[in-house]
Each structure stands twice: as C-alpha cells, then as structure tokens.
Structure 1
Amino acid sequence: MSSGPRAAFVPFPTHLDLKEFVNSRENIVFATRITCKSIDDYPLEDFENLVYTHVIRTGKPLVIEGFEKRLDQNLFSPDWLKKYLGKKVENCWDQVGQKNVQYTIQHYLNNMPKLAENVASRRDSRVEPQRLYLKDIDCPKEWQTSLEKVIPPPLFYLNDRPKAFNGPGSRYDGMPPYPRTRDGTPIAKAGDLMSSLPPEMRAENLMCYIGHEGTYTAAHREMCGSLSQNLMVDASNGEPENYKKTRPGSSVWFMTETFERQLVSEYWKSMLGHDLDLEKHFASLAAWKKAPFTTYVVEQVPGDLVLVPPLSVQQVWNRGTRTMKVAWNRTTVETLQWALDEELSRARAICREEQYKNKAIIFYSLEKYSKLLEEDPGEDHAGVDALWDDFEYLFKMFTDILLSESFSTGLPAEKKTEYLEFTGDVTCSYCRCNIFNRFLTCEACIDGAETYDVCMDCYVFGRSCRCISKLKWVEQFRWKDLEARHEKWRSQIMKHFENDEYVVDHPVFTDVRAQETQKSVAELCQEQLRVRPWVDCKKPMPPAIPSDSESEQVHDRRASKRRKANSRKANSKSPKKTAKPKTRRKAEDTERCHTCKPRPIWTLKHCSTCDLQYCYGCLFRLFDLPPQQAMQSPNWQCPKCQKVCSCASCNKKPDKMLAPYQPKRLLLGHDTYKVADERSVESLVDLRQSNAGWMKKFQSTKNHFYAERFEKLKLEADEARLALDETRNIPAPEMVQSNGMTFDSNLTVMDDGDSIIREDSQPNNFPVDPFLELNNTFMTLDDVIETALGPSVDPMLDPALGMV
C-alpha cells in the first residue's frame, strides 16, 4: 500500500439510534422488508421472480423476516452448541491483535457476556477492548439439514434442483410441477450453480458467525460477485443467562447498490484512503453520511434473512451480548458473468485466492443442463424455458473462454504442450486464481515438489517467475474435446430455437474465431514468450527496473544537485576549466520511454505512427491502459499522437494543442510480493506504485475535483440501470404482478397492511472521523498528498489525530 493518510477505525457507539441516523441524510434509507407470512400462500415461482427482480436485476438488498417462528429454537441455541460441540476447538479472530486465537466453543460462549460488557462500558479510551469474533466456522450438519427444510430451495446452499420444503413460497403439495427425466429428476435450473461441480471441487461456504458487542466485518464485496444470504438464528434478548446480565443482540448492516459499485470504490480510495478490494477498513458513521451514493441500512434480529445483491459493498457491526448467524453464497449465471467481466480481474490484481472455480462451473453446468434438456418433452413450461435461457447464457460465456485460450493461427503450432488432466486444483502461483485449462509452467523454477505455474492473464500483465521466458505450455483439456463439446451444445441450442421468434445466431467455433479481430490472451502469451528475455534464475537477481514514479524522484534529485552545483560554480572565483566532452553510452537493448526513462525494449509499447514509445507502467497508471489492451492493438497510437499526453514536456507546448489525459481511477498501490510466490517478479507494471501524484495535476478547483468525478460515476450507474438485461427481456421492476401477488416500485407487498420497516430507537451519538472533515469540507487529493504522514493512530486516543 502506498503511503498516505487513511481514514482511521472509529467504532459505532453502543447506543446508536438507527432511525434518527437514517433520517439525518437523504442518501441513507432502510432496506426493503417483507414477511414470511406475506408470501407464504403464493407459488414459489412468484417468490423467485421477486428475489431476481429486486436483488439481482435492480441490485438492492432485501430482508425477509419471520423465520424465527419456523426454526427449532432448541437446535439453534448456544445451549445446543455447548452440549454437542462445546469441546470443539475453533480459530477465533482477534480483531485488535489481527491474529487467530484458539478457544473451545464452550469457553467462548461462556465468556461472551464479559466480552460484550467490556466493549459497551469502555471508559478508558486509551485501552482498546478485546474484540474476539468466532467467524467462518463450519455450519453443523444438523443445522444445515434443518435449514434446508425451511429456506426456499432456490435460495439455499448448493441447491441443484427444485425440492419439497415448508418455507415461504411453498405450495400446498410442497413441490412445483416440473417435467421430469426418466429417472425422475426435475427439468429445471439450479439455485446454486456451485452444485454442478464434482463434490471434491466445490467451495465450502456454509459458515457460522458468532459475535459480541463491538465485533464487525469490514466493508467488502462478496467473492466473485456471488449472492450472499445471511440468516440470524439466535441472539441474546437482554434477559439474564446463567446468572449473568445480557444486552439485546442485533447486527447493523450498511449496504450499497450493485450499479453504484464504481462510485463506492472511487469514494473509498479518494476520500477514505483505502482500497476496497483489500477488505481492511470499517467505515465510520461520518463516512457513510457524507457518501455520494445511496446506503441501505438493516438492523438484523433473529429470524431476519438478509439477501445481499451481487457486487454490493457491505459492512456489519454486531451489537449486544450475542449474535449467531448462518451465511452462505450462491452462484448464478448473472454472477458468473460479473465474475468474468470484473471480479476475477480484481482478484488477480490483489492476489486474492479464487475458491469458486468460475470457469469450471460454467463447463460443468453446461454438461449438466445439456443432459437434462436432452429429455425436454417440448411442452410449454416457464421453468423449462428459464433453463433453456440459462443454458444459452452459459454457452456464450463458454465461447468467450475458448476464444481467450485459442492459439494464434499465424504462429507456428505449439508442439510441446503438456497434458494434465483437470482436477480443479491448479492455481496461479502469482495471483492464486484457479486455472481452467491452458497455463504456463517453468521447469527451471522447481522449489522441491512445487512447480511454478502462471495463468495467461498474469503473464500478459508481466508477472512470472524470475526466468521471465522459456516457459512451457500446459493444458488440462484436449482442445479437440472442448471444440467437440462446443459444437454439441451449439447444435442443441440451434435446434431448440429454430422455430422460435427469438433470433439465435451461434456460428461454429472456427467461424467465431476467424471473425475475431482482437488477439486472444493465449496469442499474446505466445508473442511475449518470443520477445521477453530469459534470465538464469540460478544467478543473482539484477536490480529491479525503476517505476515511472521512482524515475521522477531520481530526476528531481539529480536536477536539485545540478542547481546546487551551478550555484556554487557561479559564486566561485576560480578559473574555469575546460571540460572534456562526454558521450552518453546507451545500451543496445534499451530505449527511452517518452514519459519516464530508458527501459528494455520489450517493456515498451511502440507507436505505429511516430517513433515514440511508452512503457507499460506509464500506460497503466497515467492512461488507464492495461498491458493486454495495449498489446491487442496492432495499429496502436501513442498518447502524444492522440493529443492526450500528460508529460511535462508535452504540456509546455501549447502550439501542439494537447489536452492531457485525466486518469479515470485512483490507484493506491498494493504490494503483491507479500502474497505471491516468493519466486515471482513484476516485469511490466509495478503495482506497488500509486498514481496519486499524477491525478493531483488535474485539480482545477480544489474543492470540486472529486465532486465532478463522483457525479460522472453516478451518471454511469444510472445508464447501467437503464441498459440492464435488454437481451433477456426481463419485465420492468416498476410493477410486478403474478397470480394475485402485487409489488410496488420498492417491491413492498401491497396486500399486507402492516408496516414492513422496523423502526428501532436508541439515543444518538455520532463520532466524527477527523479525516473526513477539514474546515467542514471534504479533504481533496491535494490535502491527501500534502498532509504529513505518521504512524497508525487510533482517533479515540487523540481526537486531533484522525488519520493514519
């Protein structure tokens, strides 16, 4: 992380009046609530439509309350945990010490009243109370079996087909009438596509969370854009337990909309000084109040099921003596698309382990759905039609995956490709993401039995082992087998839709590949393997290539020395000496980057119009151009030819009529070397460097610089809402009506006269994060850069030090 002031952790007050807090700002609202009772007598299809429309399509959170009346109170209780799992040792996360400590479940539960009281009655602000969070523990099998009978199957963990249950939305017969295969399997789509994977490949994410007053979950997005479901099964009610007084338990949720994710991310970086993808900052109340986006607030109590929209930013604060929750994630075709388009690239950037195997889920879901649809009777049925739609959606994603992994037709064929049967456990040694098929491996960098494997996306980005080149190709599926499956599924889709009004056009894969104008990722890897030099990993490492920021610093230091030397010479009375002419020696394999300094030729992108070249690091930080995008452009024009160069020399030439390019995103910098394999290097882009210094140059007005950027991102979010799902013909969300069940624009049940928003009240007391206020205004980027930096400081210790 680059050095700079960052918003400090400010805990929520014990007596927080949520109603008053929500009413204090127009951008803060309560999330929509519906009851189990209001949907209990309607078909499950209506409930599915409600969840899809409100949570996935419009990207807003939804709370379903009333499950506490359907849960076995004896089973979902601390007494049951003590009796049957009390001696089990679990890792408990110490949020103050940032480490795991081991306790038995019984010991932790017995001491929760003391832990909660220490936080609630904190008097000495100089001593941080213990915050011990028993999180991410495996859900007991007995709990999972019981919940499966109560939670609607489309929402539950690893749901692979419609099942009988007794929860909200169930019919009287307990099972929707779907067509079936010969073996009795319903021909319907799954609620969780993770169930398509073989059991040994699935990610276990049905977890329990037990917390006390003051424990929290920092702001984050769910992994791979998946859908999160969180049910509170138990909480303290304020009555004495085992002769110990307790406080009422609940959890306060802050969530954002799906379509404002870019705006939220920019706000987190520019105003709070934190990278949202690192999941390390818990935003204060003042930060949420000043946010330029809508925040949805939920106070979760026992029986509340919170449905978090995909890509929504969420943070949770636990209150009271005890809260016990069960949470799980689901994968759908929509979340898979978001994962491929956005989330996997973010995970690779910060080297976050991908546990979901998204590309493998697409492959195995297609195989599963193909077998089901082979026995489709051809009758009109909404559930079967939805299955066909998802099947085609998955097929399009599979086509994109094959295109990205296709070798070049203009280069010699790769004859020494190694075959390794797919088992789902091959991950990139740098970014730790799962690798579906083709990747590169280094035979020289073998550390014991551990090989160095790098995914194609990382290699194009300049990441690899120290050898840099001479890596070997490996594939986990025979390419001809993948093409055969593609053709089988394509024919299946074309045959089904041939007499349908819905126009379907899916050419054979060879034609799709021939029509593609951009180079595939695999083709870029082939080219880079030919131009990048091989480095003997057994020899000492050469000095690292300085980044553009480092080059600027070196240039400034040298200029300062020259000025001082010239000043001394001017004041000196000694006679001038005739200086010998000096010739600067330039290495044959280096050229000067137009923005920074000389670099190896293979780290530069050469302009197709002029004789200039830019290094990939400058293109990434200054011009928002990733290496892959630059490499894919055969007739690439440099920023100077496009009249958008931001360097100092170009900006001093007004006759050129240059309009300097303003970076669209703030990069704080992240040291991936701390996470990646120790044999790794970054040869093109140094992600440890920030572009804050460059963005500072574009502050035309100090107080309105980021307000303009936020407004632009807000407009982009509005445009995304209007353009949503135009190809899938989903009904508009303003009014949903089905079988007598009607929802208004907020998807509130209209035939139930009861209020659906619980309004809890407690005294109001808001701490102000000093970082967010400077003379009652936002701190601008200029303030961020110029403010003196110091060690990490808790603002509760000294109110004058609210940033770190």
Structure 2
Amino acid sequence: MIYVGNSETFTPAHKDVCGALGHNLMVYSDNGRTHAIWCIMKYEDLEQIRIFFQQNGAFLDDDNCFLPLHILSKAPFTVYLFEQKLGDLVLLPPSAPHQVLNMGGKASRKFGKNQVYRIKAVTYYSMLKYSEKSQSFTKLEDIGSTENERKRFSDDMLILLRIFDDILFEESIESDVFDDELHVTKLPETEKYMHSRYCDHCKCDIFNRCFHVAKTKLHQAYDLCINCVAKGRGSFFGDEMNLMEHISFSELRENFEQAKKSYLNVQQLMKNENITTMDDLEKTIWITRDPCKTTSITTIAWSNMYYSKHHKEFPEYLPCHQCDDSKPKYCTKTCTKCNTSYCNQCLWDRYTLTLCECNRLKNWTCPHCNDVCNCVKCLKKRDIDTLSYSTNILSRMDEIKDVLPFSVLDVSGNESTTRILDSICDLPPQPIQHLTEAKNATRILNSIAKNCPLVETNCAPKTKKRKIIIINKNPDQQQIKIIHNYYHHQKVSVCGNCQRSIATTISLNQTSRNFIALIAF
C-alpha cells in the first residue's frame, strides 16, 4: 500500500491494530524540501494518551484528530518528533500511537500488503449453518450434553444474529421514493467466486451489494463499496455506475427470518423466560441500534447516486448557513428542527462532521440549534471575538504553522523573549518539550520589531491594528501571503468586520530575515 500526501496534509493520531513493527519508507518527493514530521508516543503511556486526547475533544481510536504541537507540549507523557526525508525508513515500535504531518510538497510513503477479511461472508454462512443445525433439535439434549455447551451454542448464535442484523440493515434501501427506479443487477460471478470482490478505492470487503462500473475504452472495470459511494466517491462515473448484488435482498431476509425462528426454538427448549416471542427476540437483537433513528448506509449511497444523476436535469440548490454559498441539495444537510442547511465542506472543516455521518441520523439537529455554530453571525450573537476564535477544529492549521518553513508570530503584547526556534529539520528525534519553543515565543523583543520594515495590507485601516513578525526560514522563499479568515467557497480571505479581502503579500529581502506586517482590522 502506498500513501500519497500533499503539503500540509496529515495522518490523524492513531495506533496500528496489527501490533507489528511498522516499516515506513519515503519513496518519492516533489522537491528537496519535501519531508514528513512524525510525532511518536510510547505504547507504555497508552492509557495516559487516551485520557489526554479525550480531554482535548478527540478519541485516539477514532482516527479523526491531529493535535497541534502546542497542545502536545502540555501532555503528561513523552512525545518524540522525527523528520523523514526521501529515502528515510522509519521503524515504528509495535502499537505505538503516532501522527504524521506532510510538508514541502507531494510525498509517497508507507508500503504494506492489502488484506481483505471476508467477515460478512463468514457471518452469513455461519448463521446458515447454525440455523440448519438448530432446526433438527427436538429435545434439550440435542443442543448439548452439558449446560455449558448449550449456553455456548445459544450465545454464539445470538452473536451471529446481531451481526447479520446489522449487515442486513446496512444492505437495505429504506426510502419509498426510489422504488420506481430501483434496479439492482446480479453480479456475474459463479457461486465458487461469489465473494471475491473488494473495493477498488478503500480495498474493503464487498459481501453482497456494490456499485459497479463496466469496462470501457477509457477505463477498466471498477468496483466501489457502499461506504465509499455514501461518502461521495464515484460521482465522476455518473450514469455508468450501477448497483449490483450477488444474492437478492429478499433471499437474505428470508434466511435471516428462518434463522431467528430456529434460535427461538432453541430458547424454548432451554426454557428461557426472557425470550418467548419474536418481539422479545427482536428487542434482544436490536440492543446496539435503533432502526427508527438511523438511516442505512446503502440508502445514503443510492440517494447520492440518484440525485447526482438527476441534478443535471433538475438542478436544486440550498444556501449554506456557514459560508452563505449555494450548494447542490445532495451536498448539503438540512436540520429537521429549524430547516437550516450546512454544506459538506463546512461540516467537515468547521465541526469535523462528514455529510455521511449527518445523513445517518433521521432527526439531525444542526450546530445552530445546538448553540455551537462558529460562523461570524452566530459568534457575534454570543459576544465571541471572531478574530481570535479558531474555526478549524480538526486540523488546527492555524496552529500547525509552527512547523512551516516560516513562522507567523504575534508581537502585539508587552512581554518578549529572544528564544526563537529556526527549524526542526536539523534536529534529531527528541521529546517535543524541547521543540515547541516557537509557540512559546509569542512575544518578540520590541527592539527587533523597530528595525523591521512595515507592509500595509489592501484592507482599509481600522481603529484596531495587529502586528505580526515573519521569521523567514527558507532562503529560497521570495514571497509569502498571509491569509486571514479563509473561506473555502470564496477562495479568498475576508475581513471579519468589513467583509473585504485582506490577503497580504510580503516580498522578502535577502539581507534581512525578520519583517513586520501591519494588519488592519
């Protein structure tokens, strides 16, 4: 497996589930400046690491959060930094939590072998085997000669029923809107090779249903799993993508109902008073999920494909409350309480929510109703300073600039310090406490600031002005652009007060490394 990462992309904090020694080799880089910053933690501190991530609003096992260096510097455990360049091999200790930041350009790293585990197929055929076996039971001794054997058989069959109930629910398409146009084609494999497919994007197992693109002169045949289509993949293929399946959904449902009847027969032979009817059994199976509050992943995937095809003929747009931009309806989520819409880009960038996660909830309440909306209007209503508020919850890219080829530091305060970290590129791996002095250097000597040239922005002067000092760490850097309050839909920076663009371009002088930019707000 090869991971390709562009500059300023990152791998969230996680630990490898295989528990083996990790081998990570960088095999490609755009230029000589391309490198990756590894933040590695000890496995012995795993419990402290989990608690620390939870205190900062993230979960280590969810693989969805990159903690910036100034937060990791406050951790009660040791964190090591290592810079990986082209040709460097990083040997990762078994089960060691780590996160990676790509810098300088596009890089390819980390080899591995694709592994596909047919868990769903194993569950389905194991359930059929248990069901067939339990149908022949006529007395208690047929289940097992001892009480432990009977209890084990009953528990194992209940586990299989719960797992397959979730599989069957995710394979279903619930909405009646699509009944007229719901056409599912049977996959051409024989029974021997029925479950041999896997997703060509994420390499996950395809048990039954998938979206298939037939081979053409322009591209090879392509398979996408339900999860990838639900998350927005495959829109490029358009009408060429079709929903296909190995086994009809009605056959899967009939086999599941027969397995439940067989399990109910086992409980009656064991004289279990808690499970006497089919309703009792369904409540026992549904212990981990409420089908009345959750939408199946196949319903979301089919909806994405259906509306993306019909959007060209009947375009429908909704305004996003966060960015005020009009987006296609299938790219937005509307609140069931106040009918406020949020686009997929703002949900991810501002709240670390994917559109697929929001679509899973039938009664979804938006950030505005939960009083956590961080748009400019809502922040002003709650009397929060829009200039100092960090809106990017996931990556905190406004803080990750500490490890960029140049640093942007606030010097508007009175206190100062002279210790500035030039770069982490030439330092060996060591605890992060010694590498975060750049974050602590938020106050620079006033004497340095007085000797630096001033650069005005293209925004009209206001009563409040902020000074920031630029420490140029790359001698080849000729220009840098400071962008404040970046909006994805506008592709331009916007002032939080006057709503005008305030992108500031600074030309770097070869004889001086320090510059002052006077930013007006």
TM-score, reference length from structure 2 = 0.52
Distance 2:367 2:79 in 1: 34
Q: Are positions 1:482 and 2:482 aligned together?
A: no
Distance 1:430 1:502 in 2: 48
Q: Which SS does the other structure have where 2:204 is aligned?
A: coil
Deviations 1:733-753 (A, max 9, x none): xxxxxxxxxxxxxxxxxxxxx
Deviation at 1:488, TM superposition (A): 2.2
CA shift in 2, pair 1:693/1:592, >3 Å: farther
User: CA–CA distance in 2 between the matches of 1:394 and 1:662?
Assistant: 45
Q: Equivalent residue for 1:270?
A: 67
- Deviation (angstroms), 1:391: 1.9
Could you say which residue in structure 1 is the equivalent of 2:168? 402
Give, in whole Å, the separation in 2 of the partners of 1:598 and 1:392.
48
Counterpart position of 1:290: 78
2:208 is equivalent to residue 433 of structure 1: no
In structure 1, what is the Cα distance between the partners aligned to 2:297 and 2:390?
A: 28
Q: Does residue 292 of structure 2 align to residue 516 of structure 1? A: yes
Cα 1:390–1:629 change in 2 (3 A) is: same
Q: 2:341 is matched with which residue?
A: 613
Q: What is the letter of the counterpart of residue 436 of structure 1?
A: F
RMSD value over aligned CA atoms?
5.5
Shift of 1:694: 9.5
Cα distance in 1 for partners of 2:158, 2:48 equals 24
1:281-307 Cα deviation digits (max 9, x unpaired): xx9xx9994269xxxxxxxxxxxxxxx
| Contact 1:666 1:695 (C-alpha < 8 Å) held by counterparts | no
Aligned residue number for residue 455 of structure 1: 225
Alpha-carbon shift at residue 410 of structure 1 (Å): 1.7
Deviation at 1:615, TM superposition (A): 0.7
Task: Determine if the alignment matches structure 1 residue 417 to structure 2 residue 184.
Answer: yes
Give the Å deviation of 1:392.
0.9
Provide the rounded CA distance (Å) in 1 between the counterparts of 2:65 and 2:334. Answer: 35
Query: Does the C-alpha gap of structure 1 residues 471 and 427 become closer, same or farther in structure 2, counting only changes over 3 Å?
Result: same
What residue is the counterpart of 1:744 in the other structure?
Answer: none
1:692 partnered with 2:467: no
Say whether the 8 Å CA contact 1:442–1:453 is kept in structure 2.
yes
Could you say which residue in structure 2 is the equivalent of 1:80? none
Any idea what SS the aligned residue of 1:463 has?
Answer: coil
Distance in 2, Cα, partners of 1:429 & 1:355: 12
Structure 2 counterpart of 1:495? 265
Secondary structure of the structure 2 residue equivalent to 1:494? helix
Q: If the length of structure 1 is used for normalisation, what is the TM-score?
A: 0.36
Distance 1:657 1:254, change over 3 A: closer
d(CA) in 2 for partners of 1:353, 1:526: 27
- Tell me: CA distance 1:618–1:491, structure 2 relative to 1, closer, same or farther (3 Å): same
Q: Which residue of 2 aligns with 1:362?
A: 123
Residues 388, 360 of structure 1: CA spacing in aligned structure 2 closer, same or farther, 3 A cutoff? Answer: same
For 2:379 and 2:237, the matched residues in 1 are separated by 39
**Are the counterparts in 1 of residues 40 and 79 from structure 2 also a CA contact under 8 Å?**
no
Q: 2:434 aligns with which of 763, 773, 786?
A: 773
Contact 2:172/2:249 (<8 A) preserved: no
Q: Is the 8 A contact 1:419 1:475 kept in 2?
A: yes
Could you say which structure has the higher strand fraction? 2
| Separation (CA, whole Å) in 2 of partners of 1:476 and 1:524 | 20
Q: Which of 244, 267, 281 is matched with 1:506 structurally? A: 281
Deviation at 1:524, TM superposition (A): 2.3
**In structure 1, which of residues 575, 594, 598 is the aligned counterpart of residue 321 of structure 2?**
594
**SS of residue in 2 equivalent to 1:644:** coil
Aligned to 2:84: none
Output the amino acid matched with 2:123: I
Q: Deviation at 1:394?
A: 1.7
Would the aligned equivalents of 1:771 and 1:779 in 2 still touch at CA under 8 Å? no
Q: What is the deviation of 1:377? A: 4.2
Aligned equivalents of 2:203 and 2:130: distance in 1? Answer: 29
Structure 2: distance between partners of 1:588 and 1:5: 33
**In structure 2, C-alpha distance between the alignment counterparts of 1:780 and 1:406, rounded to whole Å:** 56
**Preserved CA contact (<8 Å) 1:266 1:666:** no
AA matched with 2:95: V
Alignment-derived partner of residue 151 in structure 2: 385
Q: Distance in 1 between matches of 2:131 and 2:123?
A: 12
SS at match of 2:327: strand
CA pair 445-666 structure 1, distance change in 2 beyond 3 A: farther
Which residue in 2 is equivalent to 1:706?
A: none
Q: 2:378 aligns with which of 632, 650, 660?
A: 650
**Secondary structure of the corresponding residue to residue 393 of structure 1:** helix
- Aligned partner of residue 269 in structure 1, secondary structure: coil
CA distance in 1 between counterparts of 2:437 and 2:176 reads 61
Q: 8 Å contact 1:440–1:474 — kept in the other structure? A: yes
Matches of 2:346 and 2:127 in 1, distance apart?
Answer: 41
Q: 1:313 aligns with which of 62, 73, 95?
A: 95
CA distance in 2, matches of 1:417, 1:440: 10
Change (3 A) 1:501 1:96: closer
Counterpart for residue 359 of structure 2: 631
The Cα shift of 1:531 comes to: 1.7
Please name the residue that 1:528 is paired with.
304
Contact 2:230 2:304 in 1 (8 A): yes
For the 8 Å contact 2:209–2:245, the answer to whether it is kept is: yes
Structure 2 residue matching 1:453: 3-state secondary structure: strand
Change (3 A) 1:606 1:357: same
Q: Contact 2:232–2:304 (CA<8 Å) still a contact in 1?
A: no
Partner of 1:33: none
Counterparts of 1:530 and 1:265, CA distance in 2: 30
Other-structure match for 1:325: none
Q: Structure 1, residues 624-662: CA drift from partner, whole Å, max 9, x if none?
A: 33222322445544322332211123212337999x999
Is the contact between residue 606 and residue 612 of structure 1 (CA under 8 Å) also seen in structure 2?
yes
What is the distance in 2 between the residues matched to 1:399 and 1:472?
A: 25
Matches within 5 A, 1:312-331: 313-314=95-96
Tell me the secondary structure at the aligned position of residue 472 of structure 1. strand
Contact 2:320 2:327 in 1 (8 A): yes
Q: 1:439 to 1:313 in 2, by over 3 A?
A: same
What are the ranges of 5 or more consecutive residues in structure 2 without an aligned counterpart?
A: 12-16, 29-38, 54-58, 81-92, 99-111, 402-409, 411-427, 443-469, 476-521
- Does the aligned pair in 1 maintain the 2:293–2:362 contact within 8 Å? no
- Give the letter aligned to residue 418 of structure 1: T
- Native 8 Å contact 2:185 2:244 kept in 1: yes
CA distance in 2, matches of 1:267, 1:467: 28
Alignment of 1:466-481 (within 5 A): 466-468=236-238, 471-481=241-251
Q: 1 CA distance for matches of 2:359 and 2:343? A: 12
What displacement does 1:219 show? 7.6
For structure 1, the residue ranges without an aligned partner over 5 or more in a row are 8-58, 62-92, 100-217, 221-251, 274-282, 293-307, 317-350, 537-586, 668-690, 697-701, 703-766, 792-804
